[in-house]
Structure 1
Amino acid sequence: MTSWLLLPSGVTVEVIVVNIVSAGHVFVQQHTHPTYHALRSLDQQMSLCYSQPGTPALPSPAEVGVICAAPAGEGAWWRAQVITFYKESNEVEIRYVDYGGYDRVKIDSLRQIRSDFVTLPFQGAEVLLDNIAPLPGEDRFSSEATTALEELTRGVALLAQVSNYDNNTGLPLVHLWNMVGDEVVSVNRTLAERGLGVWVDSF
């Protein structure tokens, strides 16, 4: 099983946000990590390989946890992990392991992955934002909060630090900061200050 490139605990690292599930749940890549530059050539090799007819399909029923190749539009193929198999519709929920995000697709769109395509550590780290919760009475963040987070993080390098781990999911809880000139702006706090979430102190 290939390793995930996880965020180191208690150290500040540079990241870019590559996928936003919700305002409190994102995927980041460590674009300064030595393995990161290999992702582009992997993407090119996978695109070439899976654009050929006859690459072996993923067997059904899909095994949960298995890594496969999934079409990602415009000729791209991304590495993905099977999260759930829906027998009645022959669909699977997948998580993209490098670029983040979840998708539900027909199993026959997925392909077996070549062993040399899984040597690079998975580049997409799934994280939750620490100290920020949906507004009182809401069980999820609003689409406005998600849009605000997109605007705060789009196309910029951020600093991230793991502060804790979520009890339910085991995912890292992180703080994100944006360098604006000489100023360090907390993305987590900005969401609370704009009234898009509530600040929750850690104990």
Structure 2
Amino acid sequence: MARKKEMENSQDKMQTPQKHLVGRLIGKQGKHIGFLKQLSGAKMYVSTLPYTHELQICHIEGTKVQVENALTLIRKKFKDLDLSNRRCHVQPLPSLPITSWLLLPQDRPVEVIVPRVEAPNYLFVQQHTHPTYYALRSLNEQMLFCYSYPGCPSLPTPVEAGVVCAAPSADGAWWRAQVIQHYKDSDTVQIRYVDYGGYVTVNLSALRQIRSDFVALPFQGSEVMLENIAPLPGKEEFSLEAKEALEELTQGVPLIIKVTGSQSGLPLVHMWRQAGEEMISVNGLLVERGLCSWLDSH
């Protein structure tokens, strides 16, 4: 939902589990919902929550007067419909409640996959066996469908750090992202993809406001650091070969990690990959290959 500079916008949401009601609301070939939009002046669309197909949400966007006009028209057609199950937002995007990140367990090993490697000791993981992970593909499909059409509102300015938005990915998809910093001189924004990891800088104009139902799913990407891994002795930075080795060791295979502590607010983890019936330490392989050293050996 957005608040534009010229007028206050409002958005109502009605949870509508009955499919026949949704059909009546939309009408044959979308004629009835088109009639409601034309008569009220409000924008209206129906969506399914990304992690359940039992509930559908009718979104009504516009000024307060436009939204109330649309609700009045809906009441006339659905005299027995209870409209008390609705939520109204009249605040800019930054005030929307943001779901928590999917946290890593602290007391046991967990299976993960790696969508992105940032450095030989720093990467993003996803808990691909967690029940919420399976809804991510459906969410991505819905976001692609939504943001492929023109007219989706841009982010209000000035953009605050921490705001969650919809951002295009390198392969043409639309992913959930979080604003890290707004560079006002160039009107660019550094963002972090909250499900797949990675920090990129994009033009502010490329970002879109995110629908509140698109943030119902916990953010799936967790930043972690490999414990006890450091550059080679005498080197201040890791080599490109070390990063490429970690990408090769983690690409396309399930891995096991265990949180062992934290550093700079990020979980420290030990990581293993399976080789036959044996579990091999990824941390150890980087050292054995002469690409990294143990931190305690410095």
TM-score, with length taken from structure 1: 0.96
Of residues 232, 235, 242, the one that matches 1:135 is: 232
Deviations 1:142-176 (A, max 9, x none): 1000000011111000001000000xx20000111
The answer for the alignment partner of 2:268 in structure 1 is 173
Deviations 1:81-106 (A, max 9, x none): 00111010001100000000000000
SS in structure 2 at match of 1:35: helix
Tell me how far apart the structure 1 counterparts of residues 191 and 171 of structure 2 sit (CA, whole Å): 19
The answer for the alignment partner of 1:65 in structure 2 is 162
Of residues 87, 90, 110, the one that matches 1:13 is: 110
- For 1:44-63, what aligned pairs fall within 5 Å after superposition? 44-63=141-160
Asked whether the equivalents of residues 98 and 123 of structure 1 are also in contact (C-alpha less than 8 Å), the reply is yes
Tell me how far apart the structure 2 counterparts of residues 131 and 201 of structure 1 sit (CA, whole Å): 7
Asked whether the equivalents of residues 97 and 123 of structure 1 are also in contact (C-alpha less than 8 Å), the reply is yes
Which of the two has higher C-alpha Rg?
2
The answer for the alignment partner of 1:109 in structure 2 is 206
Q: What one-letter code is carried by the residue in structure 1 that aligns with 2:107?
A: G
More deviation, 71-80/104-113: 71-80
SS in structure 1 at match of 2:132: coil
Q: What one-letter code is carried by the residue in structure 2 that aligns with 1:191?
A: L
CA shift at 1:201, angstroms? 4.0
The answer for the alignment partner of 2:288 in structure 1 is 193
- From the two aligned structures, give the one with the greater helix fraction: 2
Alpha carbons of 1:74 and 1:101: their partners in 2 closer, same or farther (altered >3 Å)? Answer: closer
Where does the alignment leave 5 or more consecutive residues of structure 2 unmatched? 1-97
CA shift at 1:30, angstroms? 0.4
The answer for the alignment partner of 1:153 in structure 2 is 250
SS in structure 1 at match of 2:202: strand
Asked whether the equivalents of residues 51 and 75 of structure 1 are also in contact (C-alpha less than 8 Å), the reply is no
Tell me how far apart the structure 1 counterparts of residues 236 and 194 of structure 2 sit (CA, whole Å): 26
Tell me how far apart the structure 2 counterparts of residues 11 and 140 of structure 1 sit (CA, whole Å): 31
SS in structure 2 at match of 1:45: helix
CA shift at 1:61, angstroms? 2.0
More deviation, 137-146/149-158: 137-146
CA shift at 1:125, angstroms? 0.4
Tell me how far apart the structure 1 counterparts of residues 276 and 257 of structure 2 sit (CA, whole Å): 17
Q: What one-letter code is carried by the residue in structure 2 that aligns with 1:106?
A: N
Aligned residues: 200
TM-score, with length taken from structure 2: 0.66
Deviations 1:97-130 (A, max 9, x none): 0000000000010000000000000000000110
Tell me how far apart the structure 1 counterparts of residues 236 and 151 of structure 2 sit (CA, whole Å): 45
CA shift at 1:66, angstroms? 0.5
Of residues 241, 253, 258, the one that matches 1:144 is: 241
CA shift at 1:75, angstroms? 3.3
Asked whether the equivalents of residues 82 and 92 of structure 1 are also in contact (C-alpha less than 8 Å), the reply is yes
The answer for the alignment partner of 1:25 in structure 2 is 122
Aligned CA-pair RMSD: 1.2
